Each structure stands twice: as structure tokens, then as C-alpha cells.
Chains A and B, each alone.
Chain A
Amino acid sequence: MWLVGILPDSIFYIMFFLGLVGIIASIFLRNVPVINKYHNPIFLLGLLLAIVGIWYAGGVSKDREYREAISELEVKIAQAEKRAAEASAKVEYVYRDRVEVVEKIRYEVVGSIREYSGELDANCQISPKAIEILNKSASAVSDEDTK
């Protein structure tokens, strides 16, 4: 079927047409003296041309169908890729926006801690054990892992 891509489509229709002409001509040639001896070769050649022609004409038709489907798919993919890029940009924007809010809140909270640090630190003693326990929670490493 790769021939379909190389030769022009019309050649297969011409082959089919010539094949039909050959078959019909061979029928008439049978009754014409002198040249009736060419009846069989012309008939066989016509039949071969008609079969090959009709086979490839079908191939051409299917090939055109597939090419249209491929073009349609390529357009769809191009649109999908554009939408995918837009969706990624939107996700990035939403993510950055949320991180910005988190940073803003962190800044405010740390500011409050600094503001009230005198009050917070005045009557508070921190046990080293409390720090150890909190750090263990933050590092997510069990005692077994540290051994």
C-alpha cells in the first residue's frame, strides 16, 4: 500500500478503467479473425489491471480516510497541548498565590511573636526535654532509626 503514497491517485483509477476496457475488448476480439489469438493475453492482462486497479483504488480511499483522521487528531492534539499549557500556567498561578498568603501570615505571626516576646519570655522556662521532644516530632526520626 506504500505505492499509494508514491504514485498519483488517478493512476489506479486509470489502471482499473484500462483493465475493464481490456476485458471488454477481449470479448469482441474473440470473434475477429487474425487477432483473436491475442484474446487470452488481453483478457488476462485486463483482469490483472482491473484487480490491481480496484485494490489500490480502495487503498487510496482508505488512505485518504486515514489522512483525514490523522489531520483531525493532529489539530485536536495541538489544541489539547495549548489547553494543557494554559492549565499548567493556571495551576502555577494558584499555587504561587497560596504560597504568598502563607508567607504573609507567617510574616504577621512572627511579627506578633517579636512584638510580645517580652511578655512571652518573661515567666517561661523551656525544658531541654521539651525541645528534644519537639525536634523529634519535626525530624520524624524514631529512636530505633537513631540507634
Chain B
Amino acid sequence: MKFLMLISLMFLAGCQTTVEREFPPIPPGLTVSCEQLELIPENTDKMSEMLVVITDNYSSYHRCQAKVDAWLMWYKEQKEIFESVY
């Protein structure tokens, strides 16, 4: 009788269904870290050479700023899309 009760319980068991969801793709340009700043060569004696290095470093900062802004924009948009589903 106990065996029959156990078997009957099997017929009541439910199944779980999982709906797969893929992680949103990350823009390829954002997967690389910000670059290191350049150093001025120690034997530099020209102002113009120093200014070029400083300009390069400013550009590096602006590229990095663009990257961080892009990440923030990506996160905000993906969050909105994610929340619109559930």
C-alpha cells in the first residue's frame, strides 16, 4: 500500500521549465582597458616635444572618458531593456 502511495505521488510531481536568456553583447571597443599615460623622455630639452607628450596624454584621457561614458550609456540602455521583459 505504501509502495502504491509512493507511486501515486510520482504522478503528481511537476516539471521545471527554464527560459534561456543570453547576456547582452558588449561593444568590442569597450572591452579594452584605458591606456597608460605617456612619460616625457628624461633627456628632453625641447618644449615642443614635451607638449606633444602632454597632448597625447590629454587625448588618452578623453578616449578613456568616452569609454566610461559609453559604458554608462550601455548599462543604462541594457538595464531598461532587461526591466522591460520582467
Partner-B contacts on A (CB < 8 A) = 1-3, 5, 66, 70, 73-74, 76-77, 80-81, 83-85, 87-92, 94-96, 98-99, 102-103, 105-106, 109-110, 113-114, 116-117, 120-121, 124-126, 128, 131-132, 134-135, 138-140
How many B residues touch A, CB cutoff 8 Å? Answer: 50
- Sample of 11 more A-B contacts, CB < 8 Å, known A66-B17, A81-B21, A87-B24: A1-B13, A2-B13, A2-B14, A88-B25, A91-B77, A92-B27, A99-B66, A120-B48, A121-B46, A135-B39, A138-B40
Quick check: A117 and B48 within 8 Å, CB to CB? yes
A-B contact pairs, 26 of them (CB 8 A): A3-B11, A5-B15, A77-B85, A80-B85, A81-B21, A81-B22, A84-B24, A85-B24, A87-B24, A87-B74, A87-B81, A88-B25, A88-B27, A88-B74, A89-B27, A90-B77, A91-B30, A95-B69, A98-B70, A102-B66, A109-B55, A110-B56, A120-B47, A134-B54, A138-B40, A139-B37
